[in-house]
Homo-oligomer: A and B are copies of this chain.
Amino acid sequence: MALERGCTQVYTGNGKGKTTAALGLALRAVGRGLKVCVFQFIKGGGPYGEHLIAGKLAPLFTIIQTGQPGWVNTKDISADRRIAQEALVRAGKLLTSGDYDLFICDEINGAAGFGLIDVEQVLELIRMRPEKVELVLTGRNAHELVIEAADLVTEMREIKHYYKAGVPARTGIEM
């Protein structure tokens, strides 16, 4: 099947649940026979649970990681920017390839926030979205122009987080 009409969704904010909401969308879409690509920016680490499960959901589910294994080098972003710029070109090609009904750019807002890609490039990606493709952008601090360009925006607001109570990131829950 295919979507009759696609939209652009944004999940932003400082709370837990942005990437997982996108993954849940992916799960539901695959259940309906839609073809899904989760394209991750600044997420070269892992593999995490979402990567380990990919094979079970194939061929409808594809997950692609980009970025260095560690976190962004905020003191010198040049290497991270080069990788993110290449990733963005690749994401644009995949978004418009006709191969996917749901295309998720995970942490693209984070990549923009770090200056690895420009806000105008994110807006260009939104404009490139084919009519019947659903585009989902995640990551905190979504730019106001991205929010303006999107059809749906949810802010995940942290009310309470257990890391403040000393609970570390846990395998199977956070990764």
Please list the residues of chain A having a beta carbon within 8 angstroms of any beta carbon in chain B: 1, 3-5, 7, 9, 11, 13, 15-34, 48-54, 56-57, 101-102, 134, 147, 150-162, 165, 167, 170-173, 175
State in angstroms the CA–CA spacing of A147 and B22 once bound together.
24
CB-CB nearest 4 A-B residue pairs: A20-B24, A23-B24, A31-B49, A28-B49
Taking A31-B50, A172-B32 as contacts, is the C-beta distance between A156 and B153 under 8 angstroms?
no
Taking a contact as CB atoms under 8 Å apart, the answer to whether B24 and A52 are in contact is no
Question: Helix, strand, loop or mixed for chain A's interface?
Answer: mixed
The oligomer's copy count stands at 2
Taking a contact as CB atoms under 8 Å apart, the answer to whether B167 and A7 are in contact is yes
Minimum distance in angstroms from A21 CB to a CB of chain B: 4
State in angstroms the CA–CA spacing of A49 and B151 once bound together.
22
| 8 extra interface residue pairs, beta carbon distance < 8 Å, beyond A20-B24, A154-B157, A156-B156 | A3-B172, A17-B156, A20-B25, A27-B49, A32-B52, A153-B159, A155-B159, A156-B157
| Cβ–Cβ < 8 Å partners of A30 in chain B | 49, 53, 56
Taking a contact as CB atoms under 8 Å apart, the answer to whether B23 and A27 are in contact is yes
**A54 to chain B: closest residue by CB:** B31
Taking a contact as CB atoms under 8 Å apart, the answer to whether A13 and B157 are in contact is yes
State in angstroms the CA–CA spacing of A101 and B159 once bound together.
24
Taking A17-B21, A152-B16 as contacts, is the C-beta distance between A28 and B172 under 8 angstroms?
yes
Choose among A11, A20, A51 the residue with the greatest number of B CB atoms under 10 Å from its CB. A20
State in angstroms the CA–CA spacing of A157 and B13 once bound together.
9
| Cβ–Cβ < 8 Å partners of A25 in chain B | 20, 24, 173
Query: When the two chains form the complex, which single residue of B1, B27, B101 contacts A53, counting CB atoms closer than 8 Å?
Result: B27
